[in-house]
Amino acid sequence: MRMYVCGITPYDATHLGHAATYLTFDLINRYQRASGVDMKFVENITDIDDPLFERAKRDNLDWANLGASQIELFKNDMSALRILPPDDYVAVTDAMELIVEAVERLAEMGFTYELNGDTYFKIWDFLSDLPFDLEEATSIFADRGGDPSTLGKENALDPILWVSNKPDQPGWVSKLGFGRPGWHVECSVIALRYLVGTEYLSSEREVVAEIDLQGGGSDLIFPHHFMTAAIGKALTSNNFAAAYLHSGMVGLGGEKMSKSKGNLVLVSTLLNSGFDPMEIRHALLSQHYAEDRMWFESTLLTSRVRVAAIRSALSRIQVAPTDLVLHEILKALANDLDTPGALETIDNWVSATENGAVGGSVGEISRFIDSFLGLAL
Ligand code: ZN
């Protein structure tokens, strides 16, 4: 199984929305690996992006240093939450040669045009795959970094493929001029290169298999995943991904958690204030990945109590039967990652153990919830 997950832009610390997203794909990764599936999991790091440059400029920092320090913090938060790292963590700056090759190839194939020094990708051929009507898509595109109202564009939804160099920003040499890539093409290229191979750039353009799964938060459905797929399809003449999975948004105080609203709950803040990483992980698992949800302090406090009860049950010599419990947890996970259901099954086992039921294996259930749910208790 070849899984690609869109990674962070390293300009700010990991908040619970990020954690919930990467936890979702960690569950898939763990389930597949534990089931004996040959997994290849790639995640990118968008270390070339406007928010990173803006933040660096605002704080008078070098963008590369800022990025490197934020990537380090992100990795620490991920490992604290026991999110298994991808096989390849690919920074855009490390994949630049491939990205340049791909944008040049797209230009040769006639998929691009130049406007004000920038190069745009012609989305026209791919609009039949649009997940919304044109008007709604245009409005979302504008909200999420697109520029539908730039004068002279062939189509309002054409995404930028190569940005001409701006003062104080890094640039790379390409046949499209000195500049840097737009966001979407980065993911198309990194996913294809690391999951499929470089054959997609060969002139023979033989049939290349699509990747199995592309994932990210639901705010990436459009335009990012749509554009990534269109660019991938232009490069390979094949569908980009066989399936997509998106995690819901995490909100606080009635609103989506976001930097612009200033309502972020950071993983590092929770860790520093004394919460056990497994309590945080349990709290995230107690809500379903696909749902947009609100985060409350009580979510975490409830998990603290539940985690303590599981730990106490696991410390006993005699525990309630475990065979059926493992089966029920697997069944819940196989049912669209029903983690709330899986955790309830564990609670029921804890209650049965507290009530004196015997005949189970502590080692077995302990290893099992560690492998499948990432809860090391
Ligand atoms: Zn992406």
Rounded to the nearest angstrom, the distance between the alpha carbon of 338 and the centre of ligand 1 is 25
Q: What percent of the chain stands above pLDDT 70?
A: 97
Geometric angle at alpha carbon 22, from 341 and 256, rounded to 5°: 85
Report whether 192 contacts 200 (CB < 8 A).
Answer: yes
Range name among 229-243, 273-287, 325-339 with the lowest pLDDT average: 229-243
pLDDT given for residue 203 in this prediction: 53
The pair of three-digit structure tokens given for residue 361, joined into one six-digit string: 């294996």
Longest pairwise C-alpha distance within the chain: 75
Rounded to the nearest angstrom, the distance between the alpha carbon of 276 and the centre of ligand 1 is 30
CATH code of the domain made up of 275-373: 1.20.120.640
pLDDT given for residue 317 in this prediction: 95
Rounded to the nearest angstrom, the distance between the alpha carbon of 210 and the centre of ligand 1 is 16
Rounded to the nearest angstrom, the distance between the alpha carbon of 288 and the centre of ligand 1 is 22
Does residue 195 register a pLDDT over 90?
Answer: yes
pLDDT given for residue 51 in this prediction: 86
User: Model pTM?
Assistant: 0.95
Q: What is the pLDDT of residues 63-78, one digit of tens each?
A: 999 999 999 999 999 9
Spans of all domains in the chain? 2-251, 275-373
Report whether 91 contacts 27 (CB < 8 A).
Answer: no
Q: What is the mean pLDDT of the chain?
A: 94
Q: What is the mean pLDDT of residues 6-29?
A: 94
Rounded to the nearest angstrom, the distance between the alpha carbon of 332 and the centre of ligand 1 is 29
Rounded to the nearest angstrom, the distance between the alpha carbon of 119 and the centre of ligand 1 is 19
CB atoms within 10 A of CB 155: 15
Q: What is the pLDDT of residues 326-362, one digit of tens each?
A: 999 999 999 999 999 999 999 999 999 999 999 999 9
Rounded to the nearest angstrom, the distance between the alpha carbon of 8 and the centre of ligand 1 is 9
- 2-251 adopts what CATH topology? Rossmann fold (3.40.50)
Rounded to the nearest angstrom, the distance between the alpha carbon of 374 and the centre of ligand 1 is 25
Q: What is the mean pLDDT of residues 5-25?
A: 93
Rounded to the nearest angstrom, the distance between the alpha carbon of 135 and the centre of ligand 1 is 23
Rounded to the nearest angstrom, the distance between the alpha carbon of 7 and the centre of ligand 1 is 7
For the beta sheet containing 40-45, the strands, ordered from the edge strand earlier in sequence to the opposite edge, are 88-91, 40-45, 2-5, 211-217, 241-247
